[in-house]
A = this chain, B = another copy of it.
Amino acid sequence: MITVVIIGFGNVGSHLYRVFEATPDIEILQVYARSIPMEIIDAKKVTTNIKDIVDHADVYIAAVPDDTINAVTSQLDFTNKLVVHTSGSASLKSGSDTNRRGVFYPLQTFSKNKEINFKEIPICVEAENEEDLSLLINIGRHISEKVHVINSIERAKIHVAAVFVNNFVNELYHISEDILKEQQLDFSLLTPLIKETAQKIEQLTPALAQTGPAKRGDKKTMLRHQGLLTQQQQEVYHLLTKSIQKRNISQDE
């Protein structure tokens, strides 16, 4: 049995709580949160005072905002325990050095009311020593089929890449919704295309999956498109078109 304390009950903390609760070999000893979360039935498991966190867990998982990792972990009332954070962009050294540090980063987008299948989520782990790393790999494998040992530099790159395929992609969805709204058209019209675009990438590289006017160099269509957009939408259109077309040039050379 591996014993765990979860520090923080935001999007990541609450999802980790749910998956660990459903994992026989992992026991959640305690959850630290600012208030007692509704979904934790056993209220004794929750503490709202960081000084009351027990000192005998195998690992402490601080699922807190990046810029509070140091402040939160510095308040822990014990030393030389394994305390990990869950951030994609904070380095291994972000936490307080009074404990052994590590990272347990689930590479996924979490929203409170959207269920997640952890089995498919890549878990990126890192630790200051081999024994801690083994424990994190072990925990990772209990919840996911994809556990990767990733150092802080690699993880930072993964995190920024994730911003492109998640936050920025979602912003493109948002712009499309805006465009359709002007004609009272429903965004759900685009759902099949959105799904196919994402699925295609499992079989084809982004280079092979690309189609459309920018790729074809179809200037007439691009000109017509620009005429349908607001100035702000045009800026995005222009920049991403340029980005696609630069690839064409380097391919042709």
Contact residues of A with B, CB < 8 Å? 11, 65-67, 89, 107-111, 114, 116, 120-122, 146, 148, 153-154, 156-177, 179-180, 182-183, 185, 187-216, 218, 220-221, 224-225, 228-229, 232, 235-237, 239-240, 243-244, 246-247
What B residues does A161 contact at CB under 8 A? 175-177, 179-180, 190
Taking a contact as CB atoms under 8 Å apart, the answer to whether B193 and A162 are in contact is yes
Separation of A213 and B164 alpha carbons in the complex (Å): 12
- Chain B: which residue is nearest A168 at the CB level? B240
Contact of A171 among B67, B185, B193, B240 (CB under 8 A): B240
Given A164-B237, A167-B212, 13 more pairs with CB closer than 8 A: A66-B220, A107-B189, A111-B211, A116-B196, A153-B183, A157-B185, A158-B189, A160-B225, A160-B229, A165-B172, A167-B211, A171-B206, A174-B206
